[in-house]
Structure 1
Amino acid sequence: MLVSTTEHIGKEYEVIGEVFGMTTQSRNIGSNLAAGIKNIFGGEIKGYTQMMEDARDESVQRLKENAKKMGADAVVMMRFDSGSIGNDMQSVAAYGTAVKYVDERISD
């Protein structure tokens, strides 16, 4: 299924409606320890970065599954939103507009 951050995808479509995919991930103890050390010395916290990448990928997969359930062919204008829940969890939402391609064949 096509997921695009743009509105124009080279095909005519009709809007079905808004669609979301969400996930919440928690940090593991190793990431928390590394974060504490990196907080002192600085640098990337690779465990957190990986957690965010995994959350992003999972939210897009769920977005596609939900769009498919709606009968969509594609999702346009996809965006991400994220936020912290407490100190150890991160929530990521992928959202956009589910669309269905318009049949461009001319009937006789």
Structure 2
Amino acid sequence: MNNNPFSVVHRLPQSYRWLSGYAGVKVEVIPLPAEEEESNLIGLKLLSPEGDSARSILQGLNLSLREIEVESNIVECDGELCLFVKRDDESAAMCRLKNIGTAIAESVSVSALYPF
């Protein structure tokens, strides 16, 4: 079970890949169309605490994903720590995170709220 305080993550809108020579350490945004990349990654940004608290929470999420054999890495992106997983593992990662009590913030378009 999740021993971390309530946490909320948001999926970053871009696709990423490991920066050449820095796999597991640094990422770069993939230019469109990202679907053609077989090694692309998705990033999850923690919306709750920052600093050491964020690192601790992300480490807990990282360990939880690794328990179900989903490879994940904590990497600094745009000055913030984020959790990165392979796009192919996105569904399993999101399911696991939800199951341990992590909220997943999703973007909602205005037209979805007011379709008329």
TM-score normalised by L of structure 1? 0.28
- Structure of greater relative contact order (alpha carbons < 8 Å, 6+ residues apart): 1
Higher-strand-fraction structure? 1
Answer with 1 or 2: which has the greater Rg: 1
